[in-house]
Amino acid sequence: MERRDALKLTATILGGSVIGAQFFLSGCVVPPKKRSEIVTNDDVHFLDEIGETILPDTDESPGAKAAHIGAFMKTIVNDCYSKDEALIFISGLDKIEERSIDVFRESFLSLSKEKKLNLLTQFDEEAKKATSLEKPHFFTMLKELTVWGYFTSEIGATQALRYNPVPGRFEGCIPYTGESVWIS
């Protein structure tokens, strides 16, 4: 079995249902043909603000913006998503901006934290009600990329999780005292 096939199989077994993961593992790059199919550098700040609303800065750890989540999303959408997935994602960004202007009469970027959270919570509720398995909801894609990108970043792995590059021996009966999760 080749390494790439082993990675695909492992990702599938371990719940590799993250949208675009198979393209990430296969090394497939979707060549952009027009603006509606790619995330640009201009979108990175917008994505950072969305990510920060989903995973905000706290006293315990920095938020998604500190992990440069917008740049991560740009790379994954442009390089790993299929054309259809990229179009869903891009149209979702447009929907966020349109609804922000319709509801609050302001651009998403100029909203307060509370208004941003309120707006994204509405999209989260829509995504939870979405039943199409063939066509994912754009907000589900945003949340998955935010969590994936954050917890695989240096900041997420070392400050939000308890990072131990060389873990000790396995001890299966250690009482849980509410501390952060380990990552190795």
Q: Which helix (H) or strand (E) holds 69?
A: helix 69-80
CA–CA separation, 52 and 54 (whole Å): 5
Select the highest-mean-pLDDT range: 17-26, 50-59, 174-183.
50-59
What is the reported pLDDT for 169? 74
Q: Indicate the residue type of 94.
A: D
**Average pLDDT, stretch 116-142?**
91
CA–CA separation, 112 and 50 (whole Å): 12
CA–CA separation, 137 and 115 (whole Å): 21
What is the reported pLDDT for 158? 86
Q: Encoding tokens for residue 164? A: 């131990």
What is the reported pLDDT for 70? 95
What is the reported pLDDT for 11? 57
What per-residue string of b and e applies to 75-88 under the rule 16 or more CB within 10 Å gives b? ebbbbbbeeebbeb
Go through the chain and tell me how many residues it has: 184
CA–CA separation, 69 and 48 (whole Å): 6
Q: Indicate the residue type of 149.
A: G
